[in-house]
A and B are shown apart, each in its own frame.
Chain A
Amino acid sequence: GENVEQHPSTLSVQEGDSAVIKCTYSDSASNYFPWYKQELGKRPQLIIDIRSNVGEKKDQRIAVTLNKTAKHFSLHITETQPEDSAVYFCAPKDGGSNYKLTFGKGTLLTVNP
């Protein structure tokens, strides 16, 4: 199965700063790489995803970069705001055709006003 590592486990930034979270995976056949945001007691929400045929994708203040050779992808949040505070999970899809995602352990992001 897929081995996923996510770093850092906690991240504290000042409002307006940037935040970067990195995820490494083991399955070289993985081709879909989403990031989810989960607030306490709520459902995970997809915030951005990328497929293996592109290296970067951006959506306003959020971007994801992918390095397939090194098997890692990163979440970038610019101009952070207090409402960005949450747990973020990477969840690369297994390389088979079963659509399974393997979740990283999560990163608790705290944005201090």
Chain B
Amino acid sequence: GAVVSQHPSWVICKSGTSVKIECRSLDFQATTMFWYRQFPKQSLMLMATSNEGSKATYEQGVEKDKFLINHASLTLSTLTVTSAHPEDSSFYICSALRGSTDTQYFGPGTRLTVL
């Protein structure tokens, strides 16, 4: 159990366009999900905490108007990268909390390349 999926697994887009990434908990409900960004050979950096039915909480330095997060159901959170630029190219990974446990289950990640 505790399977998290992401879609798409990779995407290539032109500079200035927007890209939406979906994160789904397949076999459990998740009131809280997290979005991370990981640059090559670096660690995971938390971007924001996504809470079902309320506004996301963004980490310091993360532009909320550029990285739009929506958590409209207990199994789905979306991250939209608006007006993407080459510096936004990265590996975006989501995670989900199951119940009231501390354990985060991670999605497989989405590789975004902005040309």
Contact = CB atoms under 8 A, between A and B. Distances in A.
A101 B104 contact: yes
A60 interface: no
Given A46-B103, A99-B97, A104 B46 contact: no
Interface string A42-65: 111110010100000000000000
Given A32-B102, A34-B103, A101 B46 contact: yes
A99 B32 contact: yes
A102 B106 CA distance: 14
A100 interface: yes
Given A43-B109, A105-B43, A106-B43, A93 B49 contact: no
Interface string B27-46: 00000101000000011111
Contact of A44 (B57, B97, B102, B106): B106
A98 interface: yes
Contact of B102 (A89, A93, A102): A93
Interface residues of A, number: 23
Interface in A7-25: none
A103 interface: yes
Size class of the contact patch on chain B: 20 to 34
A45 B106 contact: yes
A89 B44 contact: yes
Given A34-B103, A46-B103, A100 B44 contact: no
Nearest to B4: A43
Contact of A103 (B44, B49, B103): B44
A88 B29 CA distance: 28
Contacts of A43: 93, 106-109
A98 B54 CA distance: 14
A103 B43 contact: yes
A49 B103 contact: yes
Interface of A: 32, 34, 36, 41-46, 49, 51, 89, 91, 93, 98-106
